[in-house]
Structure 1
């Protein structure tokens, strides 16, 4: 989505008055469950629509509400089925043990460092043994710095002439955080579940 389209969308929503502002907030809530564009784009729309501090508040509050809603929806509708499917993966026991003890900080860290999309973190946590209060508190803590950063980048993208230096610094930090998230994601996904011992392996060393 181009600069013009984002600016045009914010102006269009603003033309509807109160209802347009409601739609802007709901875009953040929807994005927390089904990411359809980079979050910084949606955050930028609300920063233009509400002003920086108002947009930051809307982005944070509705991102948290969306994450919590996705968590409860997944936990109440699909948890039993998913747990049955994953029952044979013994390595998940270690993950669940870690989440039971340090779930709050694991969730907070996963929000700060974007190893996985926010919606995947919310839904995945619902299927694991994360205490509900740990998920909620971890989300409230972890969302704050990342949403502030992305809202700042969204703001400065549309006021580039006034904030060139700050945008470059914030953009570099954001890129670094995503690069770190990608690094850890690739590192962890290369280590799959242990092979089944039902049949001996015929591969040669």
Structure 2
């Protein structure tokens, strides 16, 4: 299936003859389709963007189309297909029950983590967030940060293949600093939550 999709994307590129930033006219709709159905990995679009626009522009545009797709899928599932999706999820409740608990306990941090590492498909993350108690504003922030982390990490890994002569030291060090900051913020929030619970019990 993946080979068929890749061939189809190659055919679209050859047919449309899109180059430079005009490529977004193709990759944004493809990202939305991927966000709903997961027919092909999002990494295919990242490779495409980097190959066409270079490392920096490719990563930035990949981040933007990932955010657009995630927001579109989230709002469609939340307001247009909510009843259908609730029925679908109820049939697979055991499969995703563990992750639903993480959504409840850790909120935006669970989305940031799942967006960063390919543990769960992006479309499933959007689907589950749409039926969780996470607020829309919190989902937007966590998607923005989580997609940034994923694209950043993937850029470091893929650049050694696509652009072997690129110096990745700055990109790697800055990503490590970014992750360290996220870990510190997570630890601070968890500490504050424990303090609030202890204060509540002591009243």
TM-score by length of 1: 0.61
Instruction: Measure how far apart 1:14 and its partner are.
Output: 8.3
Query: Tell me, what secondary structure is at the counterpart of 2:163?
Result: coil
Any conservation in 2 of the 1:10–1:48 contact (CA below 8 Å)? Answer: no
Cα 1:151–1:22, aligned 2, differ >3 Å: closer, same or farther?
Answer: farther
Instruction: Measure how far apart 1:128 and its partner are.
Output: 2.0
Q: Which has the higher contact order (CA 8 A, sep 6+)?
A: 1
Q: Matches of 2:70 and 2:115 in 1, distance apart?
A: 11
| CA RMSD after TM alignment | 3.9
Q: Name 1:138's counterpart in structure 2.
A: 142
Cα 1:101–1:27, aligned 2, differ >3 Å: closer, same or farther?
Answer: same
Instruction: Measure how far apart 1:107 and its partner are.
Output: 1.4
Q: Matches of 1:112 and 1:159 in 2, distance apart?
A: 22
User: What 5-or-longer segments of structure 2 have no aligned partner?
Assistant: 173-203
Query: Tell me, what secondary structure is at the counterpart of 1:33?
Result: helix
- Bigger proportion of residues as helix: 2
Instruction: Measure how far apart 1:96 and its partner are.
Output: 6.3
Query: Tell me, what secondary structure is at the counterpart of 1:44?
Result: helix
User: What 5-or-longer segments of structure 1 have no aligned partner?
Assistant: 171-205
Any conservation in 2 of the 1:11–1:49 contact (CA below 8 Å)? Answer: no
Q: Name 1:70's counterpart in structure 2.
A: 73
Cα 1:111–1:13, aligned 2, differ >3 Å: closer, same or farther?
Answer: farther
Q: Name 1:30's counterpart in structure 2.
A: 33
Q: Name 1:42's counterpart in structure 2.
A: 45
Any conservation in 2 of the 1:107–1:142 contact (CA below 8 Å)? Answer: yes
TM-score by length of 2: 0.62
Q: Matches of 1:152 and 1:14 in 2, distance apart?
A: 29
Once the two structures are superposed, the pairs formed by residues 116-195 of structure 1 within 5 Å of their partners are 116-160=120-164, 162=165
Tell me how many residue pairs correspond in the alignment: 162
Instruction: Measure how far apart 1:43 and its partner are.
Output: 0.6
1:81-132 Cα shifts (integer Å, max 9, x gaps): 5546749x79x99976764563111211221232210111001111222211
Instruction: Give the number of the structure whose alpha-carbon radius of gyration is greater.
Output: 1
Cα 1:82–1:44, aligned 2, differ >3 Å: closer, same or farther?
Answer: closer
Instruction: Measure how far apart 1:7 and its partner are.
Output: 11
Q: 1:79 aligns with which of 62, 82, 107?
A: 82
Cα 1:152–1:12, aligned 2, differ >3 Å: closer, same or farther?
Answer: farther
